[in-house]
Structure 1
Amino acid sequence: MSHAAHGPNWPARIGLALLAFVALAVSVTLAVTIGEMAIPFEVALRALGNGLFDLGLPVSAIQQGVIFDYRLSRALMAGLCGGALALSGAILQALLRNPLAEPYILGISAGASTGAVAVLILGVGIGGTALSLSAGAFVGSCAALAVVALLSAGAGGASDRVILAGVAASQLFNAATATIVTTLASAEQARGVMFWLLGNFGGVRWPDLWMATPVALIGFAICMLHAKALDAFAFGADAAASLGVAVTRVRVVLFATTAVMTAAMVSIVGTIGFVGLVIPHAARFLVGSGHARLLPACLVTGAVFMILADILSRVLIPQQILPIGVVTALVGAPAFALILYRARNPA
């Protein structure tokens, strides 16, 4: 029954890679053509040619700006964010051997939000630039991981204890964020921060991609290098160690990788829940549980899901943009309930 029984199935892998490319291309195409201003596909192609290669094709200045400077950068950022969060969820679920683990539930997103909000409102960092915002988010995510480690100390690696510690850390950092916003922010700052905390791609521009792209791609490469070690963790940390896995080193590297990816995305677009929870399960359904296949599937599926969710956030309510976290929650909450039900009633 194993597809890998006689070595790599290269035709199948090439077919999956082509399918992934087509899915990404279609989702990005939809993202740049669908919106309050409907733009024909051929016009979008001309605008992309002008923006990427300076072809000088006939496109109005408004359409050129909407497609290249707003919708394309927004779609690419949504793809990077969805892929990075899905990767982070898959890594945490493997390390903790718990189907409910993800950055949002473990408090990493909440900690990153607290760090970013501290930078936005308290001015922590270097002039409030994107780099200092990212640094604040990273410090916050590391602080959340430290709190989770402290609260779950002595649990012997019990994943349920870690999840409960993550919920407590999430509440702690959410309370810290709320305290900063309500006591130190102006009314205008409070409105902007609260909308940002629900996830928002509206402010994304090309410079944001120069930071997010290497973080997502390097994070993906690090995760792929540890794919076999993650497979070993399926049998527990002791079994992984007996197979020659450097358990402590792998855990430190991969927890740090998820913290960096989550912090980078939160610092740019705010907190987005459920992606890291739902997408890894969908990817496992598509390609199985082997991490050499699962991690690329999470990257692509998370990217496509987030791009489509961003399109929905722009078109569900006419002349109004929903926070992206609202859209992902509409999908993620029922999926979360289904995962809980299946965990209680395995079939």
Structure 2
Amino acid sequence: MPGRRRLPYALVLAGLAALVAVAATFGIAAGSVTIPAGEVWGILLHHLHPALADATWPPVRETIVTDVRLPRVLLCAVVGAGLSVAGMALQALVRNPLADPMLLGVSSGASVGAVLVLVLNVTLFGAFSLPLAAFCGALAALVAVYFLARSGGRMTTVRLVLAGVAMAEVLSAVASFLVVTSNDPHKTQSALRWMLGGLAGTTWTVVWIPAAAVLLGTAVLLGVSRPLNLLLAGEEAAAALGLDVHRFRAALFTLVALMIGTIVAVSGQIGFVGLILPHVVRLLVGADHRRALPAAALLGAAFLIAADLAARTLMSPEEIPVGILTALVGGPFFLWLMRRRAR
């Protein structure tokens, strides 16, 4: 039976890039003050260089676009791209299509750090106290999982998954304990909303670090696309072709976990993005990571911008934590995928 024909790769990338642009335009335009799409682009072009567009809009609209909505949309794109790329790499590393970035226990470690800051009202580092504590928690979870998964100097896939799941459960219980034993309802509410994931209140100061981490991590993963492809063929085949599987897996596991820790530190726990989108991308462009990783980054960016837009507008003026929406979409997909794998 002949294989199904796919669209040309360049056309797929162009379509995904256009999807990101459209999602970003609507993400910036929508809100309590609706701004026409043409005016959004005029403001952005004027901000790049005044000669590109005449300023015919009220100054308050330029402030809304450049200082309030644009950093949030950019962070959505960064987080979505990072989770999608990390999910694709992790599924290759553990050779399991049901693997998700949340599998490593890193996000649960970040939750403990963030909840400690919120419940204890720690302000030692000002606005950076929460993301810094979340990243430290993620890093501590990474180290713990890394050493639990190693046996005889090697890291097996089964031990990695078991260590990650066990660590996630323990740390989730610790975070929940901290929340329910807090005597301040406001702090409890803040901690719960952070744990459910969200990008409210994003400013330019919190965009650059996760953006740099995702760009650098994606570049490294693109550089090791061939070894990732070899792992898909099996450990024995990869070792026969000269790949040191255990060392490569340990290094890439550390890189992916650090990417996830940096992302979760600014966004909270946003699940299922790294599970769903790699499968959609493989349907579009195939399993070759040289082609799939850029497509995954673009699709992840568009998906999370759209999810965040829905979170802001479905129950306006109230905002739904975006992690709830991604779980509502990802949960049924996960069950379908699990049944498909079983068959």
- TM-score scaled by length of structure 2: 0.89
Maintained 8 Å contact 1:226/1:250: no
Counterparts of 1:242 and 1:142, CA distance in 2: 33
The counterpart of 1:283, out of the listed 266, 281, 284, is 281
Identity %: 35
Counterparts of 1:183 and 1:51, CA distance in 2: 47
Deviation at 1:23, TM superposition (A): 1.6
Counterparts of 2:183 and 2:281, CA distance in 1: 41
1:103-128 Cα deviation digits (max 9, x unpaired): 21332211122233334445779525
Partner of 1:27: 23
1:290-317 Cα deviation digits (max 9, x unpaired): 1111111111111111011011111211
Maintained 8 Å contact 1:120/1:128: no
Counterparts of 1:185 and 1:276, CA distance in 2: 35
Maintained 8 Å contact 2:142/2:254: no
Alignment RMSD (CA, Å): 2.7
Counterparts of 1:138 and 1:241, CA distance in 2: 34
Alignment pair present for 1:137 and 2:129: no
Listed as ranges, the matches of 1:112-123 within 5 Å are: 112-122=110-120
Partner of 1:68: 66
Amino acid at match of 2:111: S
Maintained 8 Å contact 1:138/1:259: no
Say which is worse superposed, 211-220 or 237-246, in terms of deviation.
237-246
Counterparts of 1:301 and 1:172, CA distance in 2: 32
Cα gap change, 1:281 to 1:74, in 2 (>3 Å): same
Listed as ranges, the matches of 1:243-262 within 5 Å are: 243-262=241-260
Counterparts of 1:76 and 1:37, CA distance in 2: 19
1:17-64 Cα deviation digits (max 9, x unpaired): 322321211111111112333211222123223433356602223322
Alignment pair present for 1:17 and 2:48: no
Tell me the number of residue pairs that the alignment of Structure 1 and Structure 2 aligns: 338
The counterpart of 2:212, out of the listed 198, 201, 214, is 214
Amino acid at match of 2:32: E
1:249-301 Cα deviation digits (max 9, x unpaired): 32232112212211111111111011111111111111111111111111111
Counterparts of 1:18 and 1:331, CA distance in 2: 25
Counterparts of 2:31 and 2:311, CA distance in 1: 10
Alignment pair present for 1:84 and 2:60: no
Maintained 8 Å contact 1:141/1:263: yes
Amino acid at match of 2:164: G
Alignment pair present for 1:49 and 2:45: yes
- TM-score scaled by length of structure 1: 0.88
Cα gap change, 1:121 to 1:78, in 2 (>3 Å): same
Counterparts of 1:200 and 1:344, CA distance in 2: 33
Cα gap change, 1:125 to 1:88, in 2 (>3 Å): farther
Counterparts of 1:78 and 1:325, CA distance in 2: 12
Cα gap change, 1:329 to 1:182, in 2 (>3 Å): same
Amino acid at match of 1:139: C
Partner of 1:7: none
Cα gap change, 1:233 to 1:123, in 2 (>3 Å): farther
Q: Is there any run of 5+ residues in structure 2 with no aligned partner, and where? A: none
